[in-house]
Amino acid sequence: MSVYLDNAASTVLVPQALAAMSDAWSRPGNPMSLHDAGRRARRLLEESRETIARCTGARPSEVIFTAGGTESDNLAVKGIYRARRAQDERRRRLVISAVEHHAVLDPAQWLADHEDAELVILPVDAHGRVDPEDLRAELAEHADEVALISVMWVNNEVGCLQPIAELAAAAREHGVPMHSDAVAAVGHVPVEFAASGLSALTLAAHKFGGPQGVGALVLGRDVAAQPLQHGGGHERDLRSGTQDVAGAAGMAAALQRAVDHRDEDTAAVTAVRDRLLAVLDTLDGVTVNSGPEGLPGVVHASFDSCEGDSLLMLLDAKGVQCSTGSACTAGVASASHVLLAMGLDRAAARGSLRFSIGPDNTVADIDHVAAVLPEAVGRARAAGLMGVR
């Protein structure tokens, strides 16, 4: 039996997305061409843009297609920072949370290393949440120097939801643009761009049943940004290059399906999550790190005296596929910066696994986990003790 519990890394392509992409692939046409095939491709691209805008509470003109979450985050962080810095040289401060995905953390650090940005890291509590008072204190003292704030909507490792509305309100009060990496949120929790008060928001199709390699940056019309690449002036002159029409169609179809079925999907995922938590509760030396108010599809746990990578491979050999955290850092022999920021020690951080549940998972899947997990944990602990000796 094979049980896939790594939906936070990538989800199964839903039939609606596959059908939309197959139809688009069957028709030729560059959406920038003026002939009939081009106009047809353009129509499909714009219809997809409208669907994504409707599902995220944005205007179609605010949706910029990209190759995925990482590109969208880079465009937001570097693009907005550079535009703000060009307007006012004093604006060097770049404020992010301590638990950002590397797609935000790394470009922010790059700007600090290469473009004189001053990186400000907001701490988080034991559940991974930013305290809005910390942001208000930063803005009260340095609002005229802040170029951009970026705080993720939902953490991809432990599933905690950030107080986005409060954070964005503080940013708006001081006239500072705020971006949110909402890759783990869109399709899973209600996301309304206009109501949020954000200036920019990132999403990626493969996190909600769409294809890999396509995403979008939702960018307010009044928010200045500089492009990362130049060419034909596509996507508001911010992302030049022929658009992936089939990918856009697949993303739109998957997002519409996710929004339409969100309540029933959440109920199904919650039932499976509760069964998994019950299984973990039967084991000694297991601490659940994901909070009760987090994304129901993410269960993150630390296993005493275990190496996460060893436990991961032992479970994989028994047909259970999960992760030690973000897929982008898989195989990296270091403790998660997210868990360390939450206050876990390095041993607990390295002995952790993330089980991420999708609508296709069943209680029977978790029964299989229950059958194989105790032995895997025992073997991982025995291997850890042998390593200590």
* CATH number of the CATH domain containing 133: 3.40.640.10
Task: Please check whether residues 313 and 324 belong to one and the same domain.
Answer: yes
- Report CA-CA distances (Å) from 383 to 87, 283, 309, 387, 389: 57, 18, 12, 6, 10
pLDDT of residue 376 exceeding 70: yes
Mean pLDDT to the nearest integer, 349-369: 97
Q: Which percentage of the chain shows pLDDT scores above 90?
A: 94
- Rounded to whole angstroms, the Cα distance separating 207 from 205 reads 5
Residues 179 and 286 both lie in one domain: no
Residue 8 covered by a domain = no
Q: What pLDDT digit, counting tens, does each position of 147-169 carry?
A: 999 999 999 999 999 999 999 99
What tens digit of pLDDT does each residue of 233-253 get?
999 999 999 999 999 999 999
Same domain, 326 and 235: no
| Helix, strand counts (H, E) of the chain | 14, 12
Q: Identify the sign of the CA torsion 254, 153, 302, 274.
A: negative
Is residue 306 annotated as a catalytic residue, yes or no?
Answer: no
Q: Is residue 238 part of a domain?
A: yes
- Determine the pLDDT at residue 332: 54
Within a domain: 330: yes
pLDDT of residue 291: 81
Range of the domain at 65: 15-259
Element (H, E) at 352: strand 352-356
Who contacts 29 (Cβ-Cβ below 8 Å, separation ≥6)? 35, 37, 38, 39, 40, 41, 245
- Catalytic residue chosen out of the listed positions 55, 306, 322, 328: 328
Res 36 pLDDT > 50: yes
Judge if 172 and 217 occupy the same domain: yes
Residue 202 and residue 69 in contact, taking contact as beta carbons nearer than 8 Å = yes
What average pLDDT is seen over the chain?
95
The pLDDT assigned to 333 comes to 61
Listed residues 259, 277, 292: the one ending a domain: 259
pLDDT at 389: 37
Question: Are 123 and 228 in the same domain?
Answer: yes
pLDDT at residue 388 in the model: 42
Q: Which residues of 136-153 are buried (b: 16+ CB within 10 A; e: fewer)?
A: bebbeebbebbbbbbbbb
3-state secondary structure of 339: helix
Domain termination residue (choose one: 259, 294, 328): 259
The CATH code of the domain that includes 275 is: 3.90.1150.10
Cα–Cα distance for residue pair 42/64, rounded to 1 Å: 14
Q: Are residues 208 and 287 in the same domain?
A: no
Domain count along the chain:
2
300 and 372 co-located in one domain: yes
pLDDT at 64: 98
Q: With respect to residue 280, please indicate whether it lies within any of the assigned structural domains.
A: yes
In the predicted model, what is the mean pLDDT of residues 274-278? 97
Pair (234, 322) in one structural domain:
no
- Domain identity same for 287 and 247: no
- Residue 306 in any domain: the answer is yes
Q: Per residue in 37-90, pLDDT tens?
A: 999 999 999 999 999 999 999 999 999 999 999 999 999 999 999 999 999 999
214 and 335 housed in the same domain: no
The structure's pTM equals: 0.95
One domain, residues 167 and 118: yes
Same domain, 157 and 245: yes
Does residue 3 sit within a domain?
A: no
Establish if 2 belongs to a structural domain: no
4 lies in some domain: no
Among 230, 259, 288, the domain boundary falls at 259
